[in-house]
Amino acid sequence: MDIKLPDNLLENLNPDETVIDSLKTATIASRPDYTVLTNQRIIYFNAKYLGRYELATIPYQKLERMVAERGMLRFGTITFIDENEEEIALNRVPKDQIEPFINSLEEALNMIAVEPISIKRNKGLGGRMNWEFNKPPEMVYRSSARPAQSYQNHQAPKNQDPLRVLKMRYARGEISEEEYEKMREALSK
């Protein structure tokens, strides 16, 4: 995370809250919007002029649905919907920042979920990709998060079959079918 967060946003963090990842979106006509994943909640912060701001939060336990789409061109969208059907919509999200942010969200949700959750991924033509998370009715969360593991530093256990790891990466959409076939052939030799 290399984004400098505004002081007004940092003042609204709880003392025991740590920032996992952040996303900055901006348009030419307005000040930037920040979306922050902490160990407890999703925070949307919209800075306005003259020191004003808009702040919306969704605790992970209240997150009902998340839909994200990466378009063919430069931008994508992410929408969060809570149990009360209130929506936080992020438009013009830089294309290259969407997937790492979704991976961080999945990691954050898994830190408090009793059973592992997964985010459905659909890869389309021309770089298009969609992600969707719908909270099942029986979803149970811990009252406090377990210690975080860095998603980027997460490596497969040494005793895990490399072919199985390769199949999982292909199923999650991390690698293309061509890459999968090449790596599978290399592993079978």
Per-residue pLDDT reduced to its tens digit, 48-72: 888 788 999 999 888 888 999 987 7
Q: Which two tokens stand for residue 88?
A: 């936080």
Q: How many whole angstroms separate alpha carbon 103 and alpha carbon 100?
A: 5
pTM over 0.75: no
pLDDT greater than 60 at residue 27: yes
pLDDT greater than 50 at residue 156: no
Q: How many whole angstroms separate alpha carbon 133 and alpha carbon 118?
A: 7
Q: How many whole angstroms separate alpha carbon 159 and alpha carbon 11?
A: 45
The residue-averaged pLDDT of 29-42 equals 86
pLDDT greater than 50 at residue 151: no
Pairing mode, strands 33-38 and 41-47? antiparallel
pLDDT bracket for residue 115 (50, 70, 90): confident
pLDDT recorded at residue 150: 47
Count Cβ atoms within 10 A of the Cβ of residue 102 and give its class: 0-12 exposed, 13-18 middle, 19 or more buried. buried
- Proportion of the chain above pLDDT 70, given as a percent: 87
